Structures are given as structure tokens and as C-alpha cells.
Structure 1
Amino acid sequence: MAKVGRGLPAPKSKRRVKYGPNVVRLVCEDLASGMTYNEVTQGRGRPSHSSLYEWRRRYPEFAEATDAARAFGAEVCGDRALEVAEQATEETVRKAKLEVDTLVHRAAVLAPERWGGRGAGLRRAEPIEVVFSVRRFEKVVGPDGRVCVREIKPEGEV
């Protein structure tokens, strides 16, 4: 009988990192430098993915801080895309285009209001109210034999 998990790497044993201002600052600095959640969780003294998501759910101020940090990270991605594009040569243009497109897409994911392609200064659409009214009609044959249509008004309307 085959062993369960055979061929899979053993899970990393991580010490549970407690939520606090120092770890929040560290996580936000890393996110603001353009790092991914995966990169942020690597190394000793770093929170796990599940801790980050739990903290975002439990602490609204942490969610707000990480969102702001990721928006700064989007700017880093945009700056890096510009550097890659400027350094491209005829031989490297295909690879550079892929890298630039990936960086710009990542920036759009991190900060869609700024990098999402909707243009600067556009606000989200406000909900509108749509009102439908139903009118009823009937077919009427006139005294001259011509057929016409007449609206049936609700009681009390003229």
C-alpha cells in the first residue's frame, strides 16, 4: 500500500507569529516594496498565509494598512515595468514585453482604481433607479369600420 503524501515535500513547520505592531510594519513594508504574499511569508519570524488572511478578517486596520501597502507596491511594479521597457534591445524585446505586460497586470490587480485602465479620475458608477410603467391597450372598431387601438386607463385617470 502506498504511503499518503509520498513524493510531496514535508510541510514546513512554522512557529505561530503573534499579531502586533512590529509584524504589521514588517508585512506592510514588504508589500509596499512590491513583494507578493508568498514572498512576505517566507523566512523565520514571518506569519503564514493563513495568519495574514485571518488578520485581514479580524483586524480592519490591518486590512486597510495592507491594501494601502499593496497600492504602493503597484507603483513599484509600474516603475519596474518602465525600467524593463527602457532597457529592452532588439534581441530582448519579446521577453521584455512579456515582463512589462506582467508587471502592469500585477499593478492593475494591486491597485485597480489607478492601474485598471479606466482612466484617472473616473468614479465608480452610482446606482440608478429604473422605473417601469405598464400600459394596457385594446383593439376598437370605429363606426366607419376602421380598426384602431385605444389605451385603457386605470380607474381614476383621465
Structure 2
Amino acid sequence: MKASDLPRVNTPEGGWKGEMPGPFLVACDEPITEGFPDLRGTWKPVELVVNGEPAPADVPLWQHVERIEQAGSRVTITSGGVIHDFPSVDGTFENGCHDVAAMDFTTPIIVAASFEDGVLVLRPRGLEGVEVRRWRDGEHLTWDYHGAFTMRLARIDSEN
């Protein structure tokens, strides 16, 4: 099954609670688009820098866990009560994430996604210049949240 055959996935009302929902692209047998990096996996932080300084252990971001799924040109990121599905990572808002913000599970967001030099770059509509970036650095995933924080994550599930 191709990734484009599946309907768009969205965060349930009020966000998902408790255990992370199961994978959404598991039925897809379409390989990741040629030239796209493989970011798949379930990831947990091993390093967190906030405002240029190592974050203390009591910062809630240390509890972050995210799962990234990929098939074809599709990327789905599940974490923190939200499911952010990008049906096609092509740099357009049309094929980007149409969901809600994790801060309150009600504020609508539309986010374009593109791969640029091996980096997944997310650009929210209406926030000119804001970029959220994820990329592989060896065995780790790095997540830069527009300079507010940078997190290095280790994979906690088995290889794909």
C-alpha cells in the first residue's frame, strides 16, 4: 500500500492520553522517497540545551518521547499528545500538517515540511521565519526548535 492511499491522521480532540497510539503507516510497503533521509524510530532525549545552556534534569522536555514514521514522501510525528501528519513532504502548506498545537490541543496549525540538505524543515503558516528542524547525526536525531532549544535524541526501539 502507498502512503498516499491512507487518509490524513489528526490528533484526537483534547490530544491522545496515556500510552502512545500505535503506528499509522504500518500498512505501507512503499519505500522512503529516494534522497530523503531515514528519520524513522521512537526517540528519547539524551542531551538538551536551552538558551545555550545544558538543561537541568527537572525541565519537562526531558520526558519527551517521539515516534517518526515515514513511507514514500509522507512523515508522521507522534509525541506529547499530538499526531502531526505530513501527507507529502513537498514544502507546501496544502500537503503539510493540518492539526492542533501541542500547547493546548485546540489552536489550529498548518505546517509545511520539506527536506533540505538531509534536514526535515517545518515551517508553520503565519510565523514568518520560524523553522523547526530535525536531522540524523550518526545514531542520534537532533531536533532544533527554532533556537529555543536543541535536543539530541537516542533511538529506543529496534531498527526498521
TM-score, normalised by the number of residues in structure 1: 0.21
Higher share in strand: 2
Looking at CA atoms only, which structure, 1 or 2, has the larger radius of gyration? Answer: 1
Greater helix proportion: 1
Which has the higher relative contact order, 1 or 2, with Cα contacts under 8 A spaced 6 or more apart? 2
